């Protein structure tokens, strides 16, 4: 006997679709990045749209650049991450180790500032920074000094005992200041003899203290100890927001590009989804949101903003006209011996 066919009611059809959707497996992508404010901003404002569009969950594995790199390096054949965020200097090391895969061509790549496309798109910048100079606005005003305009202001005799420099051996800011001084003295990113030979005579006498990072700058400005020091526009604004009397100054020789970069991890499973995530993080919409909620400076030239954010974009676009990049491959190769020499001859 032939059984009669049952017609599916609209309710039954909808139920079947819901069941099949529930049974579909939601994939998980793991991304290594700094925790805290960065993680919160991406989780709340950038990942949700991507997760919804691709039926995927993005999970942050928090850590510093060194910690994230170590995780991937330890399991490079079966990496625990799909995408990783690293500071630019560390990212160049990761590329050299073969830990990144090339970004596939996409329209969004053409919207990036050129400095944000690293080593033939093996990595891309997701946020932009630059090391220039910041100064004690209160001190400069009281003494009637003009705002600094050059890296060589660090050598100005009137600032004897008033300059603070982060250590080359522990800070990218200190390294950037030294590399720009070295260029002005006639060196380049492979030949640092001019910088080492001239630093103590021209700048060393002005330095009140070499600090391991920028944490003491706020205190030293407010006590009147610090007049001039390497810093980024973003960090300068953070200090100003806390009532510290500082201003940023763009050196005429250019600031030094400082980028937080991402790469799709080599040998990662779900490489196609990982590439889509990396593209999403570079998109103008994503970076516009991050500028608004976290003051993260976009690497996408098409990012937009209103109010104070729009003024920031205009200002940064101006800074980028003279900003320079350093040769991280050369620096990473030589930095251990430079650190040793710096500690023995400059900070001794």
- Is residue 7 assigned to a domain? no
Give yes or no: residues 227 and 312 share one domain: no
Q: In whole angstroms, what is the distance from residue 196 CA to residue 191 CA?
A: 10
- Is residue 102 assigned to a domain? yes
Give yes or no: residues 294 and 152 share one domain: no
Contact 116, 124 (CB under 8 A): yes
- Is residue 241 assigned to a domain? yes
SS3 content of the chain, % helix, strand, coil (to 5): 50, 20, 30
Tally of domains in the chain? 2
Give yes or no: residues 265 and 245 share one domain: no
Q: In whole angstroms, what is the distance from residue 278 CA to residue 265 CA?
A: 11
Q: Residue 43's domain spans which residues? A: 26-128+259-318
Q: In whole angstroms, what is the distance from residue 101 CA to residue 93 CA?
A: 13
Q: In whole angstroms, what is the distance from residue 209 CA to residue 205 CA?
A: 10
CB 19: neighbour CB atoms within 10 A? 10
Query: How, if at all, do strands 207-211 and 123-136 pair?
Result: unpaired
CA-nearest of 130, 116, 145 to 180 is: 130
Give yes or no: residues 171 and 186 share one domain: yes
Give yes or no: residues 179 and 267 share one domain: no
Contact 123, 85 (CB under 8 A): no
Give yes or no: residues 168 and 52 share one domain: no
Contact 68, 84 (CB under 8 A): yes
The helix or strand, by DSSP H or E, that contains position 27, with its residue range, turns out to be strand 27-33
Task: Give first-to-last CA distance, the chain, whole Å.
Answer: 99
Give yes or no: residues 120 and 138 share one domain: no
Which residues in the chain show pLDDT less than 70? 1-24
Q: In whole angstroms, what is the distance from residue 102 CA to residue 114 CA?
A: 16
**How far is the CA of 94 from the CAs of 80, 130, 176, in angstroms?**
15, 21, 20
Give yes or no: residues 217 and 187 share one domain: yes
Give yes or no: residues 97 and 39 share one domain: yes
- Is residue 19 assigned to a domain? no
Give yes or no: residues 288 and 266 share one domain: yes
Give yes or no: residues 174 and 288 share one domain: no
Say which CATH number the domain at 47 has: 3.40.190.10
* Whole-number pLDDT of residue 159: 98
Longest dimension (CA), the chain: 106
* Whole-number pLDDT of residue 170: 86
Residue 205 DSSP symbol: G
The pair of structure tokens assigned to 137 is 């606005």
* Whole-number pLDDT of residue 87: 93
Q: In whole angstroms, what is the distance from residue 316 CA to residue 75 CA?
A: 38
Length in residues, the chain:
348
Give yes or no: residues 333 and 214 share one domain: yes
């Amino acid at each position: 006997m032939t059984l009669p066919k049952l017609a599916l009611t609209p309710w039954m059809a909808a139920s079947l679709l819901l069941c099949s959707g529930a049974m579909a497996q939601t994939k998980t992508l793991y991304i290594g990045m700094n925790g805290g404010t960065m993680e919160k901003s991406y989780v709340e404002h950038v990942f949700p749209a991507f997760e919804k569009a691709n039926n995927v969950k993005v999970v942050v594995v928090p850590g510093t650049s060194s910690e994230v790199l170590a995780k991937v390096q330890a399991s490079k054949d079966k990496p625990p991450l799909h995408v990783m965020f690293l500071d630019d200097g560390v990212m160049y090391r990761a590329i050299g180790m073969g830990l990144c895969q090339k970004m596939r061509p996409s329209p969004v790549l053409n919207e990036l500032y050129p400095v944000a496309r690293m080593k033939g798109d093996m990595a891309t910048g997701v946020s932009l920074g630059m090391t220039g100079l910041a100064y004690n606005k209160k001190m400069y005003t009281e003494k009637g000094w003009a705002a600094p305009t050059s890296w060589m202001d660090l050598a100005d005799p009137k600032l004897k005992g008033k300059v603070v420099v982060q250590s080359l051996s522990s800070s990218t800011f200190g390294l950037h200041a030294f590399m720009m001084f070295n260029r002005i003295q006639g060196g380049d990113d492979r030949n640092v003899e001019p910088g080492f030979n001239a630093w103590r005579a021209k700048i060393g006498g002005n330095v009140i203290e070499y600090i391991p990072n920028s944490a003491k700058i706020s205190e030293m400005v407010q006590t009147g100890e610090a007049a001039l020091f390497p810093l980024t526009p973003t960090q300068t604004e953070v200090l100003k927001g806390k009532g510290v009397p500082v201003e940023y100054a763009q050196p005429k020789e250019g600031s030094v590009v400082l980028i937080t970069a991402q790469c799709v991890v080599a040998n990662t499973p779900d490489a196609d989804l990982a590439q889509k995530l990396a593209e999403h993080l570079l998109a103008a919409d994503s970076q516009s949101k991050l500028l608004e909620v976290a003051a993260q400076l976009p690497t996408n030239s098409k990012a937009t903003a209103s109010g104070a954010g729009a003024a920031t974009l205009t200002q940064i676009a101006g800074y980028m006209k003279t900003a320079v990049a350093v040769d991280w491959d050369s620096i990473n190769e030589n930095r251990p011996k430079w650190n040793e020499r710096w500690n023995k001859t400059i900070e001794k």
